[in-house]
Structure 1
């Protein structure tokens, strides 16, 4: 391809005229992705003509019939995001991953200009970039494990699948019902926690205006609402309050009795997960913000010495035609709940790891999140405070390769299972341990150690204010879907894969860390969409979405966003993007989102359908393979 330095000269574009789908072509001179060429450049019929040798000539001359500026390209933005995350991560991405990262091809069923979410953030681009790094790590591991295979493997990352990954739990179904269907509760085997089952208590985790007009605070009762409600002068239970707006009004009236400073003092005293909603520019001036601006999105460091680890003997493929699984035989203990931590384990299971999700019988989880989040795993309940539970856990730990920690910072240390403690426990067994911790704020800066969730990170870093301003409001609104959770899960998976590579090549035990705030910082540093792009997105989506206010719940925000996206972007809900199978654990057919990633020569996908928490015995044996899932 070539072009003159004259901006009015034609651009020669190579294209495949015999393909049914769009082919994306990169033109180095102008740094433009061209797809569905006439549509992407708003060309009139006379502005593009076919020439010999499968080339097209596009007329970029101004004037009547000339091409107008191309709309924003998500594909081009995704490529820039890949380069940006490489710079931010620095040496956290091993140099051996680079040749594989160069092999990434981005695919889409559209023209590459569609922005899927009613948000000002480059969420799809950020996820495509992270999934590209994840896939390059997998390809590098495959080169180690299967040296007779292809030296560099072709990698594809699908834009639509990357977008659905960010709202997986809203797309997953059980018995044909989604998260917000009223009848879905009857299909969930786990008992709903009181905090998630009762609307009044659920709204103890919400954003409200404070005593100072224009200042907002996100209180968060986590999965035990009583402390937060009592903290602001409300009863733990109000059976008389059942209507959505009435619950919000009652709670907000009580929050408005306090300033941000007073709420912070009470929140700290009660050790609750609450924060003020501040803007990005304010966040960057905080001690925590300045710290995270100089911290990579994820970090992996060596914490113990041991020899390099040979790969475990991998089980035979399920069928003669099955491709190998790069993490087959790798054992992962997942000590996590809700979304971000389980998303790490789910990703490792996609690449073939044996993942056991260990939950506590005395801690609540959200049952519907298990439909998507437990895919590919085994699940067991263990009380790590009891001698019997600890003995069973330590038996699992004796041969584990990876431990995932998604609890409040320090919780596992107090139980004797923190990273340095596990290095001591696994000394002399012949292989190091990998410990990956994800939390809300990270382990640096003055917010380290505080509890938090996705909404808390989004309010603290400035996402909520940016979302509200995008919606035409002078107030914050928590963005739709747990996108920060899933993005953090992807970064945690990258940390685990990197540590596995380091352990195999250098030996040792390794600690990986990431956080919801680190994902949000990466996302915001990518920049918001330009004003004209934001205006296009606003015009596309339902008016009802833009009628939301700061105190609308995450379920209300997500529900309206999903309804609008189904109308505007039906391609996101195409059957090609989901997989269906019968779940023995749930006793129903379930559906979940397919992986955004394909890696040449490897099978990426699950070996078994999801199941509720606590479904299996705590053992590394008895790993069934469900052919309906493998072949789906």
Structure 2
């Protein structure tokens, strides 16, 4: 579909809408070809590209006009193509190998943090029945122990008509609430009352005031920009100067020779079997990088900082295939253990602000020096909110902030026809999850190149880059009629600006269960099950999105997810 066949402005300034609906698998094939052609270092071998097959329901299965499923499915397919290349490098050649990506499966994957079962109960039921707290260690530290704290992450009106602001409590909402003039201890007992109370305060503040206050205090938040405003901003332009899948060889580093992949273990023929990864991340995007690499066979040791808050829910899914250890980098003995693991690693994944790791001797320059000294290149993967450079590169941010900044929340609100310019988050942690596959794809490409050319590589994945790419005119948005048909089919519950991403995730899950319930049955073939887990019984996780036709090599996990900090620090070594 050409850019000329789209209508501009349907969902606001800087938006481009398809004139007619194209079935999701067919449109995903187009986007896959586009993205493949635009990605530096990605293959243009037609024989390899034609191995990819997209299947799935013709209609969209998530709310809104953004083609989040197609973008994510195209990226997963690209990861499958690179995995095919790596298998060939490792001696498993198959000209007839197929790479299948089901777009409906990809839609479920965007919500996979809550798509799973423990002892036959789905994850949201566990939360509703208050069983989750008895199955997982508590790393939340009371971040949502009151309605005000919970609603301190949401999109609210400002003193400027039709301009909304994404307030983000950043799992420590007290300072955020105080900044907008609210006593966190006020006796408010319902989340609806809390949302209105916060809105009463933000309506008195200009978006510029909130933005500057957050910048001065180092807090999270963003004005809900239109796509046009973001693209014309200096930060948007900085981001646009980089490819979406951003992999750069570090040619200034000490040269290192090509490094062959380790010999296959007879019991594991997955593409990354034997690759060692240290992951130091929080919440969703960074852990999703590691979870994806683990499904391709990598040995992942995930580092968690016990003094930092994380979401209890995520332990059930995002640690699949990993071992987890608690490390406090403020303690010299813990820092020494981590550095010893990094010295062995092929890949280092970090999800903190760019200047955090150098303070602990774990910055890009530090690890390039380690790689040079050992004579074996390293792949350094960073994910953040705003991008690798530009004046917001060091600013803290989460999925909700990125969705507001880059225009996704604005577009979603316009698609819902809400008054007064109300912005609403996309219904799932889309930018988080998709950033995860971007980072994993970059790591796969870098490992492929390290094996054939040598050297070390830097991979950067940014939340705002995901939002921006999906809003490009070449991708297009769904027509209003398609969005309405999707809403009628699934009967989504109300979606509003103040709703937390967990509220919206539950809304989507309920719609899926009504319409696509057979897909989501635990024994329906979409889940990988482990009879015994650290969470007290059988654990079933949504399978990886990519399926290779050779069963031995297709992505899967060898071990179930485990809690944060589950293994002993002293005894954890790479296999």
Establish whether TM, by shorter chain, passes 0.5: yes
Per the alignment, residue 267 of structure 1 pairs with 214
Determine the C-alpha separation between the residues in 2 that align with 1:540 and 1:598: 28
The alpha carbon displacement at 1:70 in A equals 9.5
Q: Which runs of 5+ in 2 are unaligned?
A: 1-18
Per the alignment, residue 205 of structure 1 pairs with 153
Match of 2:103 among 159, 163, 186: 159
- The structure-2 alpha-carbon separation of the partners of 1:94 and 1:617, relative to structure 1 and needing over 3 Å to count, comes to farther
Contact 1:578 1:594 in 2 (8 A): yes
Per the alignment, residue 420 of structure 1 pairs with 365
Per the alignment, residue 382 of structure 2 pairs with 437
Q: How does 1:242-257 map to 2 (within 5 A)?
A: 242-257=189-204
> For 1:191-245, what per-residue CA distance to the aligned partner results, in whole angstroms no more than 9, with x for missing partners?
432213433212222111112231111111212112211211223444x223111
Per the alignment, residue 431 of structure 2 pairs with 484
The alpha carbon displacement at 1:587 in A equals 2.2
> For 1:342-390, what per-residue CA distance to the aligned partner results, in whole angstroms no more than 9, with x for missing partners?
0010011001110011011111110111111001100000111211011
Contact 2:300 2:323 in 1 (8 A): yes
Contact 2:256 2:455 in 1 (8 A): yes
Query: Is it true that 1:615 corresponds to 2:566 in the alignment?
Result: yes
The alpha carbon displacement at 1:398 in A equals 1.6
Match of 1:324 among 269, 274, 284: 269
Per the alignment, residue 169 of structure 1 pairs with 113
Query: Is it true that 1:222 corresponds to 2:173 in the alignment?
Result: no
Query: Is it true that 1:580 corresponds to 2:529 in the alignment?
Result: yes
Per the alignment, residue 311 of structure 1 pairs with 261
Match of 2:441 among 494, 497, 520: 494
Contact 2:151 2:498 in 1 (8 A): no
The higher relative CO (CA closer than 8 Å, separation ≥ 6) is in 2
> What secondary structure sits across from 2:248 in the alignment?
strand
- The structure-2 alpha-carbon separation of the partners of 1:552 and 1:511, relative to structure 1 and needing over 3 Å to count, comes to same
Determine the C-alpha separation between the residues in 2 that align with 1:328 and 1:523: 32
**Length, aligned pairs only:** 541
Determine the C-alpha separation between the residues in 2 that align with 1:396 and 1:198: 39
TM, length-normalised to structure 1:
0.82
Per the alignment, residue 455 of structure 2 pairs with 508
The alpha carbon displacement at 1:494 in A equals 0.5
Per the alignment, residue 84 of structure 2 pairs with 139
Query: Is it true that 1:355 corresponds to 2:355 in the alignment?
Result: no
Determine the C-alpha separation between the residues in 1 that align with 2:91 and 2:302: 28
> For 1:274-301, what per-residue CA distance to the aligned partner results, in whole angstroms no more than 9, with x for missing partners?
0001111222221122333343112111
> For 1:8-35, what per-residue CA distance to the aligned partner results, in whole angstroms no more than 9, with x for missing partners?
xxxxxxxxxxxxxxxxxxxxxxxxxxxx
Per the alignment, residue 187 of structure 1 pairs with 135
Determine the C-alpha separation between the residues in 1 that align with 2:276 and 2:145: 34
Match of 2:281 among 308, 329, 336: 336
Deviates more, 1:174-183 or 1:226-235: 174-183
- The structure-2 alpha-carbon separation of the partners of 1:548 and 1:532, relative to structure 1 and needing over 3 Å to count, comes to closer
The alpha carbon displacement at 1:539 in A equals 2.6
Q: How does 1:360-375 map to 2 (within 5 A)?
A: 360-375=305-320
> What secondary structure sits across from 1:514 in the alignment?
strand
Contact 1:409 1:450 in 2 (8 A): no
The CA RMSD measured in Å over matched residues stands at: 2.0
Per the alignment, residue 394 of structure 1 pairs with 339
Per the alignment, residue 73 of structure 1 pairs with 23
Determine the C-alpha separation between the residues in 1 that align with 2:386 and 2:519: 31
Determine the C-alpha separation between the residues in 1 that align with 2:535 and 2:370: 36
Determine the C-alpha separation between the residues in 2 that align with 1:597 and 1:489: 14
The alpha carbon displacement at 1:597 in A equals 1.0
Determine the C-alpha separation between the residues in 1 that align with 2:158 and 2:129: 32
The alpha carbon displacement at 1:583 in A equals 4.3
> What secondary structure sits across from 2:286 in the alignment?
helix
Contact 2:239 2:386 in 1 (8 A): no
The alpha carbon displacement at 1:94 in A equals 4.3
Match of 2:188 among 216, 229, 241: 241
Q: How does 1:456-467 map to 2 (within 5 A)?
A: 456-467=401-412
The alpha carbon displacement at 1:450 in A equals 1.0
Contact 1:72 1:533 in 2 (8 A): no
Deviates more, 1:187-196 or 1:221-230: 187-196
Determine the C-alpha separation between the residues in 2 that align with 1:87 and 1:146: 27
Determine the C-alpha separation between the residues in 1 that align with 2:21 and 2:184: 52
Per the alignment, residue 9 of structure 2 pairs with none
Determine the C-alpha separation between the residues in 2 that align with 1:389 and 1:237: 36
Deviates more, 1:123-132 or 1:179-188: 179-188
- The structure-2 alpha-carbon separation of the partners of 1:389 and 1:126, relative to structure 1 and needing over 3 Å to count, comes to same
Determine the C-alpha separation between the residues in 2 that align with 1:561 and 1:156: 25
Q: Which has the larger radius of gyration?
A: 1
Determine the C-alpha separation between the residues in 2 that align with 1:555 and 1:434: 33
Per the alignment, residue 61 of structure 1 pairs with none
Q: Which runs of 5+ in 1 are unaligned?
A: 1-68, 318-322, 624-632
- The structure-2 alpha-carbon separation of the partners of 1:347 and 1:264, relative to structure 1 and needing over 3 Å to count, comes to same
